[in-house]
Structure 1
Amino acid sequence: MSLASIKSFVSRVAGDGALRDKLHAAAGVDDIVAIAAAHGHEIDKAVLLREHAKVLATAQDHELAGINSWGDALMHCFGATEND
């Protein structure tokens, strides 16, 4: 539910290509929360959205231009890349 839970999930995503693909296919935040839950991570939607908004508010335009899915957005906001 906390930021630590989100970061733990994102860390797992960074090392798991199949899980990353599921996130890229997510239609929205509810899907992200459900995917996280299915993999043992309890994430609160409100905390996720609030933390996501904080990071996006300070992102550069070129960073935002590279976000093409909810999975990209989650990984960008919480410091994971597909190269991790």
Structure 2
Amino acid sequence: MLQTFKAVLKGNSIEWLDEAPELGEQSIPVHITVLEETTGLDAATRGQKMAEVLERLSANRAFSGIDPIAWQHEIREDCSIPGRDE
């Protein structure tokens, strides 16, 4: 049976965050999934960089050729609603 435990991988060590499995000193095979890649930037710096990129996109009118209503219908796969068609 597969069990899931929350942990942080630091170098070659696993630091358990919540409940740790009771393994004693035995070695067992594991699969480790890396959930997110760390950028080394704090949230404020990432936010500032994102704002700068969005400002450049706006200045270049990167999305000016896209009809927002048509895009929304395509993304949401909207169906026509009786009595609400234009």
**Same-fold status (TM-score > 0.5):** no
Task: Give the number of the structure whose alpha-carbon radius of gyration is greater.
Answer: 2
Q: Which of the two has greater strand per residue?
A: 2
Give the TM-score, by structure 2 length. Answer: 0.25
Instruction: Between the two structures, name the one with larger relative contact order (CA 8 Å, sep ≥ 6).
Output: 1
More helix by share: 1
Q: TM-score, normalised by structure 1?
A: 0.25
